[in-house]
Amino acid sequence: MEEVAEVPALRAWRREARAAGRRVALVPTMGFLHAGHLALVDDARRRAELVVMSIFVNPLQFGPGEDFDRYPRDLNRDRALVRDRRVDLLFVPTVATMYPPGADTRIVPGAAGDRWEGAARPGHFAGVLTVVAKLFHLVEPEVACFGQKDIQQVTLVRRMVRDLDLPVELSVVPTVREEDGLALSSRNSYLGPNERQDALALNRGLRAAAVAWRTGERAGPALEAVVAREIAAAPALRADYIAAIDPEHLQRVDEAVPGTILAAAVRVGRTRLIDNLILR
Ligand code: PAF
């Protein structure tokens, strides 16, 4: 596995890959890797001959008072994990490389970026889209792999790709979970044992709503209420939002149909967790 931190070295690697006619997949991450990231690598491997993973904790997507400084980082452990998984190139830029002094251009999403995560974290998605667009331009991947867990992020990246005619295919990989249902997230490392136990109510609620859907419930508010009941029963959780939304504009729906997303965010102490499922 090669590792580069600078743009000229990345571009040289990319030129060689192109000259050799090899298809490249990008897995963008903020590091502190877990099995969810490794599932993205496996997906990338199936879709391309060469896999690039970026590890960059992007300051632009953290608001004031958020966890940028304490976001978990362990580059040596990450290196070992991806080496075993056959990543071809690790791109580990510094903040100064990604955002040299004076770099103040941003990619700002439309209205779908102001809802849900965007409402709770103003500016978050402009930070995400800006860094993802930069990574797309730097790596020029044929395909890029994202996790379904961050479903609003994936939706907004898909719109950016379409609206700006970016020549990249997106692959969305199902959420990887612990055996007890908790969606894997680098932020799970913040949870104490009781918080972690209560956090299970998030997925339990979504699964209960999926059961209600399968047995005929179609009203968006009623499905949301099923999730809300589970979350309310967990003392450490405070619901941030629980929403049945359409997959294109991410607006609340009165009537759920196949493809409707049930998305929820909770606060557990200082930690914010998100999860979702797509009704089929
Ligand atoms: O999902 C993430 O880890 C980040 O939002 C991403 C896509 C790597 C951009 O910083």
Expressed in angstroms and rounded, the spacing between residue 16 Cα and the centre of ligand 1 is 26
Structure tokens at 142: 């044929």
Per-residue pLDDT at 87: 97
pLDDT digits (tens, 9 = 90+) for 238-253: 999 999 999 999 999 9
Per-residue pLDDT at 187: 93
Q: How confident is the model at residue 171 (pLDDT cuts 50, 70, 90)?
A: very high
The question of whether 37 is a catalytic residue gets the answer: yes
Q: To test ligand 1's pocket by mutation, which of 57, 71, 150, 161 has the most ligand atoms within 8 angstroms of CB?
A: 150
Contact, 61 vs 75, CB < 8 A?
no
E strand or H helix at 257: none
Q: Is the pLDDT of residue 31 over 90?
A: yes
Ligand 1 atom nearest to CA at 57: 10
pLDDT digits (tens, 9 = 90+) for 146-164: 999 999 999 999 999 999 9
pTM, entire model: 0.97
Closest-CA residue to 128 (of 149, 113, 147, 112): 113
CA-nearest residue, atom 8 of ligand 1 = 29
* Cβ < 6 A, ligand 1 pocket: 28-30, 58, 61, 128, 131-132, 150, 153
pLDDT digits (tens, 9 = 90+) for 73-93: 999 999 999 988 989 999 999
Q: What is the mean pLDDT of the chain?
A: 97
